[in-house]
A and B are shown apart, each in its own frame.
Chain A
Amino acid sequence: MSIDDAIRLTEILMGFAFAQQSIEHFVSKGGERYMFIFRFILAVLLIVGFQTTGVLVILLLLALEILNRFQGPYNGGADRMSLLILSCLCLAQLSPTQYWKEIAFGYLALQLVLSYFISGFVKVVNPEWRNGQALCDVFLFSVYPASESLRNWANWPRLLFFMSWGVMLFELLFPISLISSTSLYIALIIAASFHLSNVFMLGLNRFFWIWISAYPSILWFQQRIFATT
């Protein structure tokens, strides 16, 4: 995949993710609703490829206004990833040379790898994750389970112990998948399935769409770094 194709695919996927996020605000009150209607229109323009560089810059300015409006991210990590992808795309499109374009887009790929690896590392150093108690607590009393019936999962500590280790090992080993395009595709399918399970269990739908948007960057990055060595 060429860098231009990867950037374009990222724009389309991110545009779709932004449109989905924006539609959820159409039922909000006043200024918030209008801000996200505007964002939705920009997302559609990005998907169809109309004046993409200009649209990206306006989307970034709007993202800063949204950040200011909510005094931080509206949706935690999903909003942070949205801002990261948007910033990297802006920098890549505005880069004066191919070298800086690759640096900007490569930074996104690097952060995507780190998003899995660091998440795994901070868990594995915590004894409560290693013995499965942390995941029990997620279901037992955290705000995340999408329904009351899911709290019953806390009664299955053995299952949650294996799930904890499954998540930690996958996240820690994710960087190794870069050694070949086949292993990377398999890792990304597993990662997407992980995000999908988080939609079903924790209601984190925005994470699913926005993380997938960053996948073209790592597919390009893998070819750029490992296929040429």
Chain B
Amino acid sequence: MLHILKLLIPALVPSWNFFDVITPSPRIQFALYGLNDEITIEWQEYRHRPTHLTLFQMIGRMLWNAKWNESMFIIGCAERLMVNPTLHSENEILNRMINDFTNKTSDIDLNNATHLQFRLLVVERQGSELHQNITYYSRIKKLPTWKIT
């Protein structure tokens, strides 16, 4: 009850400090591990944003923007992991990745993949240049066997 109250108070007495500081920004990358013992870890960016949106797509997003809002939640979980790592945040990211990959809502080919891991990169501007640092590795999670091709 006290925990829920802690979550509720920022809504009842909001700080309203939107975009006060542009903080370092997380990126999520994932790697699939296969049945073979070959160690060839290839990190791929999770959920590319679209290259371009048409005006029609932008207007449509007024009413239906489920994927983008879920991506924002996943980014929120990544930000929580950078500050205060919890199993909840890690599970949310891993489970939504598995959901994407197994439901063919992404173009990721699972092939012989058996396990999944993600890592967090933080992008920040230092002077006039952008720098990336790896800040977090998730545990390696087994993929559901019933979906592996």
Which A residues lie at the B interface, using CB under 8 A? 20, 23-25, 27-29, 64, 67-68, 70-77, 79-81, 83-84, 87, 111, 114-115, 118-119, 122-123, 126, 128, 134, 137-138, 140-143, 145-149, 199-200, 203, 205-206, 208
Q: Do B66 and A199 touch across chains, with their CB atoms under 8 A apart? A: no
9 A-B pairs in the complex with CB atoms less than 8 angstroms apart: A25-B66, A76-B72, A76-B76, A80-B10, A122-B16, A134-B22, A142-B22, A148-B50, A200-B58
Q: How large is the interface on B (under 10, 10 to 19, 20 to 34, 35 or more residues)?
A: 35 or more
Q: Do B130 and A119 touch across chains, with their CB atoms under 8 A apart? A: no
Interchain nearest-CB distance for B80 vs A (Å):
7
Residue B89 is within 8 A (CB to CB) of chain A in the complex: yes
Interchain nearest-CB distance for B21 vs A (Å):
6
Q: Do A149 and B11 touch across chains, with their CB atoms under 8 A apart? A: no
Q: Do A80 and B11 touch across chains, with their CB atoms under 8 A apart? A: yes
The answer for the CA separation of A143 and B73 in the assembled complex, in Å, is 11
CB proximity to A under 8 Å, residues B16-64: 16-22, 25-27, 49-53, 58, 61-64
The answer for the CA separation of A64 and B1 in the assembled complex, in Å, is 10
**Chain A hits for B110, CB < 8 A:** none
Q: Do A64 and B4 touch across chains, with their CB atoms under 8 A apart? A: yes
Residue B147 is within 8 A (CB to CB) of chain A in the complex: no
Residue B142 is within 8 A (CB to CB) of chain A in the complex: no
**Which single member of A73, A119, A141, A148 contacts B25 (CB below 8 Å)?**
A141
**Chain B hits for A146, CB < 8 A:** 49-50, 53, 58, 61, 68
- Sorted from nearest, which 9 A-B pairs have the closest CB atoms? A83-B11, A122-B20, A24-B66, A118-B16, A137-B22, A80-B11, A203-B68, A149-B52, A200-B58
Residue B134 is within 8 A (CB to CB) of chain A in the complex: no
Q: Do B4 and A67 touch across chains, with their CB atoms under 8 A apart? A: yes
**Chain A hits for B149, CB < 8 A:** none
Residue B86 is within 8 A (CB to CB) of chain A in the complex: yes
**Chain A hits for B125, CB < 8 A:** 137, 140-141
Interchain nearest-CB distance for A179 vs B (Å):
22
**Which single member of B8, B18, B88 contacts A64 (CB below 8 Å)?**
B8
**Chain B hits for A126, CB < 8 A:** 20-21
Interchain nearest-CB distance for A202 vs B (Å):
9
Residue B75 is within 8 A (CB to CB) of chain A in the complex: yes
**Chain B hits for A205, CB < 8 A:** 61-63, 65, 69
Residue B111 is within 8 A (CB to CB) of chain A in the complex: no
**Chain B hits for A83, CB < 8 A:** 8, 11-12
The answer for the CA separation of A217 and B11 in the assembled complex, in Å, is 17
Q: Do A208 and B89 touch across chains, with their CB atoms under 8 A apart? A: no
Q: A84-B11, A84-B12, A138-B22 given as contacts; is B49 within 8 A of A147 (CB)?
A: yes
Interchain nearest-CB distance for A141 vs B (Å):
5
The answer for the CA separation of A139 and B38 in the assembled complex, in Å, is 39
Closest residue to A77 on the B side, CB-wise?
Answer: B18
**Which single member of A24, A74, A114 contacts B16 (CB below 8 Å)?**
A114
Closest residue to B53 on the A side, CB-wise?
Answer: A147
The answer for the CA separation of A200 and B53 in the assembled complex, in Å, is 9
Q: A134-B22, A140-B125, A205-B65 given as contacts; is B17 within 8 A of A119 (CB)?
A: yes
